[in-house]
Structure 1
Amino acid sequence: MAGPIGPVTEPLLRGLRGVAAYFRGVMGADAYRKYLEHHEASGHSVAPMTERQFWRERMDRQDSNPHGRCC
């Protein structure tokens, strides 16, 4: 039994979640999560940036190096 959602709706929802995750990745919305994973895996001795610091740094870096952007 597939659960309360239904046998057809459940795979559809999984597919939609996958599409949403793909677009979040393309748009860079998961960049902070990836940064935290990399920071932890690299074994840095300093604390990671806060999410606000991360996004500010990323925007500043993009503004100072505008190549490779569409807009």
Structure 2
Amino acid sequence: MSAAPSVAAVRRGLRWMRWYVRELTGESAYERYVAHVRQHAPDAPVPGRREFERQRAAAREGDPRSGLRCC
């Protein structure tokens, strides 16, 4: 019997790594936001990714608990 991982196991590992990196970097936040808006307010306009990132950065900069600013 071979000790090499199966193709399915390698793919599963790669999918997990992709998910982990996307969560770690915040890349999946926009998809979650769009899903949330469409579920709770289907008729509301959804801002584009660039506008979402601007709003997200502004919220982080304005929140003293975020740890991004010293003062």
TM-score, normalised on structure 1? Answer: 0.74
Rounded Cα–Cα distance in structure 2 between residues aligned with 1:58 and 1:22: 20
Question: In structure 2, what is the equivalent of residue 24 of structure 1?
Answer: 22
Question: In structure 2, what is the equivalent of residue 45 of structure 1?
Answer: 43
Rounded Cα–Cα distance in structure 2 between residues aligned with 1:22 and 1:66: 27
Runs of at least 5 residues in structure 2 that lack an aligned partner in the other structure? none
More moved, 24-33 vs 9-18: 9-18
Relative contact order higher in (CA < 8 Å, ≥ 6 apart): 1
Per-residue deviation at 1:70? 6.3
Decide whether aligned partners of structure 1 residues 14 and 70 sit closer, same or farther in structure 2, where only a CA change above 3 A counts: farther
Per-residue deviation at 1:11? 1.6
Decide whether aligned partners of structure 1 residues 13 and 66 sit closer, same or farther in structure 2, where only a CA change above 3 A counts: farther
Alignment length (residue pairs): 65
Point out the structure with the larger helix share: 2
> What is the identity percentage for the equivalent residue pairs of Structure 1 and Structure 2?
26
Per-residue deviation at 1:44? 4.5
Question: In structure 2, what is the equivalent of residue 35 of structure 1?
Answer: 33
Per-residue deviation at 1:62? 0.4
Decide whether aligned partners of structure 1 residues 46 and 57 sit closer, same or farther in structure 2, where only a CA change above 3 A counts: same
